[in-house]
């Protein structure tokens, strides 16, 4: 096609300025179309969204807080895959959380100190995943197909199957699944993965917050249980009601446990193995979940071999026939780890077109080795295996006595502590360069990084110019990247460097703006991260890296954003020394050496979102001509009576006080060319 630039790839758009406006801004020559908004109906029987807090039946509407997302091509006229189809496909996306203030007429209510069932059901069903059919019309415009039989909502109430080493484990037995093989639903689904056999993985991130646990519960549990609960943040130190207090609902169906299961207190008089209550319900969350988007009746599978954590995303290595696939995963909390799962089974290219897709998932995701990363100051790194009975991961472990591999996987944080993995500045998305195989990881920020515990991979400690204690540490975040030794996904060691440090362009170049960012590319708190598809005609030359932000330290100057980059390769920067300032900002206190580069002209701002949003979730059609992006929680600080954003109504210039809605947009180039290049 004559409109495609093949080589060398260069960024071909004018940088979008930082902005506080209530619109999605993109470069000249591009068009934004709003595609799929909170509340949009996904079948013919469900009415249009009133957007005034009176709507219900979210099991048949778009959920809230759109997040990670992938596009799956559909064969024309059929419901089967055509990975190359750029005109008709399934868009699968996560609905991470809710802006409850906008879901009800006057916000969340309590009646006799309990949540009304209808409100709680609405909030529960606004979480989960959407599968929707999208099509490109004759004139090039995109829309979703409201009455497609392929449309599906997966919610925290959808039955799921447990696979891998935890299947049948005593750790996940509940009143609902007394044999520990099934569970209900998925929650706080953050980033995602697109599997080479045409399935979607959704990742459970901040699940711990939803559970009620009272101060009396510690005494009813073993010391080992309490160690595990505390390590995942399910402590009882506050009045722990659980997010949204769902467990307080009195259901109209008195036999229903859809609400009581959010209360994980050990219930007196129930079986010690947990089959009479929901004491183990929290162990049912924190997993990577695989979904076959082409089969609306398929039961999603929780892939326990990949470990239990605050899973951000799960991105595969570039498939190479005969070589074991790797899957890269961040655990997003302060000072947590980067993980890699390596399948036992080498990749067979024929599996890319297999029809029993979840069985192929069984083959690659149920058995293998989970590793945790240690980044060394030399620029080398090691993948430490999380295998039961190796390196002290056994019953005599001083941190936590591991009983078996299921216990290691359900408590990988404790295993990682024991192995001396590197505590990172909040590991968010992973992305893999399809041309080089190099893996990139966003480290979004870390307000608890101290001067004393900076290391080569997490080297910054400074005061944000705002000067609040909460902004100390590494408030602007960075992106680290690694290249596996021998360029193989099976490697147990790697080289790494830092690709870019987030910073305002006006900040100190010796300890904050270390990458020399300017007004066209300054950013803070990188989070979403994705390389353009290699099916994009320029993909083989120099794939485009897309960076999305979720920021609280730069929002005085700009709303959150998305940037495009042509990032180069590991080690193409120079070794440099960073001078970290003391907590009091009075002088130099520590120095650490890192390898980094100044991205300069290869990094450019492509999009700025509306007020109080996060930009998260991105994919394109296989031809790279339509880019799908999610706008999460615009106006998240407002209320139904006083919204702080009117997006997406405001995108068309409409004024007024319309309640804001999370939504998917599609970005196309007016000349029909490749987005970004
Ligand atoms: Fe859901 Fe770590 O972002
Ligand atoms: Ca994120
Ligand atoms: Ca984030
Ligand atoms: Ca968010």
Q: Where are the domains of the chain?
A: 30-207+285-669
Q: Tell me, what DSSP letter sits at residue 60? A: G
Residues with CB under 5 A from ligand 4 (ion): 614
Instruction: Using 70 as the pLDDT threshold, list the residues of the chain that sit under it.
Output: 1-8, 238, 464-471, 538-542, 579-601
CA of 428 to the centre of ligand 3 (A): 7
Q: 632 near 649, Cβ under 8 Å?
A: no
Sort 459 into a burial class: Cβ within 10 Å, 0-12 / 13-18 / 19+: buried
133 lines ligand 1 (CB under 6 A): no
CA of 496 to the centre of ligand 4 (A): 28
d(C-alpha 326, C-alpha 196), whole Å: 12
331 lines ligand 1 (CB under 6 A): no
d(C-alpha 677, C-alpha 667), whole Å: 13
428 lines ligand 1 (CB under 6 A): yes
161's enclosing H/E stretch is: strand 159-163
Q: Which SS3 state, helix, strand or coil, does residue 467 take?
A: coil
CA of 527 to the centre of ligand 4 (A): 10
Residue 648: is the preceding peptide bond cis (ω within 30°)? Answer: yes
For the chain, counts of helices (H) and of strands (E): 5, 32
CA of 236 to the centre of ligand 4 (A): 25
List Cα–Cα distances, 100 to 94, 570, 660, 664, in angstroms: 17, 43, 12, 19
Question: What is the predicted pLDDT for the residue at 552?
Answer: 85
Q: 598 near 573, Cβ under 8 Å?
A: yes
d(C-alpha 156, C-alpha 428), whole Å: 22
Q: Which SS3 state, helix, strand or coil, does residue 589 take?
A: strand
Q: Tell me, what DSSP letter sits at residue 523? A: B
CA of 73 to the centre of ligand 2 (A): 25
336 lines ligand 1 (CB under 6 A): no
For the CA of 97, the nearest atom of ligand 1? 1
CA of 29 to the centre of ligand 1 (A): 31
190 lines ligand 1 (CB under 6 A): yes
Question: What is the predicted pLDDT for the residue at 8?
Answer: 58
- Among all bound ligands, the one having the nearest atom to the CA of 205 is 1
> How many CB atoms within 10 Å of residue 411?
28
Please tell us whether the domain made up of 30-207+285-669 is placed in CATH 2.120.10.30. yes
CA of 314 to the centre of ligand 2 (A): 12
E-assigned strand segments in 225-349: 288-291, 301-303, 315-316, 324-330, 334-336, 338-346
Question: What is the predicted pLDDT for the residue at 599?
Answer: 57
312 lines ligand 1 (CB under 6 A): yes
- Among all bound ligands, the one having the nearest atom to the CA of 97 is 4
CA of 614 to the centre of ligand 2 (A): 9
Question: What is the predicted pLDDT for the residue at 585?
Answer: 42
Q: 262 near 210, Cβ under 8 Å?
A: yes
The backbone region for 659, taken as left when phi is positive above 0, alpha when psi lies in -120 to 50, beta otherwise, is: beta
Nearest CA owner, ligand 1 atom 1: 190
332 lines ligand 1 (CB under 6 A): yes
CA of 206 to the centre of ligand 2 (A): 10
Question: What is the predicted pLDDT for the residue at 289?
Answer: 99
CA of 211 to the centre of ligand 4 (A): 19
- Among all bound ligands, the one having the nearest atom to the CA of 617 is 2
205 lines ligand 1 (CB under 6 A): yes
CA of 670 to the centre of ligand 2 (A): 30
E-assigned strand segments in 347-491: 368-375, 380-385, 424-425, 427-432, 439-443, 478-484
CA of 606 to the centre of ligand 1 (A): 21
This model of the complex carries an ipTM of 0.95
For the CA of 312, the nearest atom of ligand 1? 2
Among 622, 575, 610, which residue's Cα sits nearest to residue 594?
575
Place of tokens 């042509």: 566
Q: Tell me, what DSSP letter sits at residue 364? A: H
Question: What is the predicted pLDDT for the residue at 535?
Answer: 81
List Cα–Cα distances, 205 to 210, 230, 616, in angstroms: 11, 16, 14
Question: What is the predicted pLDDT for the residue at 571?
Answer: 85
Question: What is the predicted pLDDT for the residue at 572?
Answer: 84
d(C-alpha 203, C-alpha 232), whole Å: 16
Residue 8: is the preceding peptide bond cis (ω within 30°)? Answer: yes
For the CA of 206, the nearest atom of ligand 1? 1
> How many CB atoms within 10 Å of residue 568?
18
For the CA of 428, the nearest atom of ligand 1? 2
For the CA of 550, the nearest atom of ligand 1? 3
Among 362, 456, 418, which residue's Cα sits nearest to residue 164?
362
> How many CB atoms within 10 Å of residue 302?
25
522 lines ligand 1 (CB under 6 A): no
614 lines ligand 1 (CB under 6 A): no
443 lines ligand 1 (CB under 6 A): no
551 lines ligand 1 (CB under 6 A): no
Q: What are phi and psi of 665, to 5 degrees?
A: -115, 160
CA of 527 to the centre of ligand 2 (A): 5
Q: Tell me, what DSSP letter sits at residue 267? A: P
For the CA of 330, the nearest atom of ligand 1? 2
96 lines ligand 1 (CB under 6 A): yes
- Among all bound ligands, the one having the nearest atom to the CA of 310 is 1
**Could you report the per-residue pLDDT of 405-440, keeping only the tens digit for each?**
999 999 999 999 999 999 999 999 999 999 899 999
Quote the tokens at residue 674. Answer: 């490749």
């Amino acid at each position: 096609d004559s409109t495609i630039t093949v080589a060398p790839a260069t960024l071909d758009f004018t940088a979008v300025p930082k902005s506080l406006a209530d619109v999605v801004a993109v470069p000249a020559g591009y068009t934004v179309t709003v595609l799929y908004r909170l509340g949009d109906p996904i079948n013919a029987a469900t009415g249009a969204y009133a957007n005034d807090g009176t709507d219900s039946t979210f099991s048949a509407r778009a959920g809230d807080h759109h997040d990670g997302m992938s596009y799956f091509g559909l064969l024309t006229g059929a419901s089967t895959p055509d990975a190359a189809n750029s005109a008709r496909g399934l868009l699968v996306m996560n609905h991470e959380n809710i802006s409850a203030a906008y879901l009800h007429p006057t916000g969340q209510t309590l009646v006799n100190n309990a949540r009304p069932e209808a409100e709680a059901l609405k909030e529960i069903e606004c979480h989960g995943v959407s599968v929707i059919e999208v099509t490109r019309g004759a004139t090039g415009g995109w829309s979703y197909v409201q009455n497609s039989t392929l449309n599906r909502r997966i919610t925290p109430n959808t039955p799921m199957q447990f696979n891998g080493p935890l299947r049948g484990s005593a750790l996940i037995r509940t009143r609902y699944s007394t044999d520990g093989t099934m569970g209900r639903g998925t929650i706080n689904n953050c980033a995602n993965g697109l599997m080479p056999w045409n399935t979607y993985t959704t990742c459970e991130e901040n699940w711990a917050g939803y559970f009620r646990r009272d101060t009396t519960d510690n005494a009813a549990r073993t010391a080992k249980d309490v160690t595990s609960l505390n390590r995942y943040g399910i402590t009882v130190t506050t009045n722990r009601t659980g997010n949204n207090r769902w467990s307080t609902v009195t259901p109209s169906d008195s036999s229903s446990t859809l609400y009581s299961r959010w209360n994980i207190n050990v219930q007196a008089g129930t079986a010690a193995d947990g089959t009479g209550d929901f004491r183990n319900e929290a162990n049912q969350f924190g997993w990577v979940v695989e979904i076959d988007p082409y089969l609306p009746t398929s039961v999603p599978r929780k892939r326990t071999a990949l470990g239990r954590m605050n899973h951000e995303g799960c991105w595969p290595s570039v498939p190479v026939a005969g070589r074991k696939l790797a899957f890269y995963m961040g655990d997003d909390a302060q000072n947590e780890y980067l993980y890699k799962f390596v399948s036992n089974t080498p990749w067979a290219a024929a599996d890319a077109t297999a029809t029993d897709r979840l069985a192929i998932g069984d083959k690659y995701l149920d058995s293998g080795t989970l590793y945790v990363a240690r980044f060394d100051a030399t620029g080398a790194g090691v993948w430490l295996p999380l295998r039961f009975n190796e390196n002290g991961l056994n019953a005599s472990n001083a941190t936590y006595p591991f009983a078996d591999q299921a216990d290691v996987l359900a408590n990988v944080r404790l295993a990682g502590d024991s192995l001396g993995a590197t505590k990172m500045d909040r590991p968010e998305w992973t992305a893999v360069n399809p041309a080089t195989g190099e893996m990139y990881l966003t480290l979004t920020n870390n307000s608890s990084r101290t001067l004393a515990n900076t290391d080569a991979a997490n080297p910054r400690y400074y005061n944000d110019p705002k000067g609040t204690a909460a902004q100390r540490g590494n408030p602007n975040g960075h992106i680290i990247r690694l290249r596996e030794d021998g360029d193989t996904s099976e490697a147990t060691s790697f080289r790494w460097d830092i690709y870019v440090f987030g910073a305002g362009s006006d900040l100190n170049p010796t300890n904050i703006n270390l990458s020399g960012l300017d007004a066209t590319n300054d950013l803070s708190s990188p989070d979403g991260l994705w390389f353009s598809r290699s099916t994009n005609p320029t993909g083989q030359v120099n794939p485009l890296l897309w960076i999305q932000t979720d920021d609280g330290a730069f929002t005085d100057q700009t709303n959150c954003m998305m940037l495009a980059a042509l990032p180069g390769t590991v080690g193409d920067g120079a070794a440099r020394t960073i001078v970290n300032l003391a907590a009091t900002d009075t002088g130099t206190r520590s120095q650490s050496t890192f390898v980094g580069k100044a991205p300069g002209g290869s990094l450019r701002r492509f999009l700025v979102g509306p007020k109080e949003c996060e930009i998260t979730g991105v994919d394109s059609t296989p031809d790279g001509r339509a880019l799908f992006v999610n706008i999460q929680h615009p106006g998240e600080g407002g209320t139904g009576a006083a919204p702080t954003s009117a997006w997406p109504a405001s995108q068309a210039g409409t004024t007024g006080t319309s309640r804001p809605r999370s939504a998917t947009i599609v970005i196309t180039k007016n000349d029909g060319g490749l987005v970004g290049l």
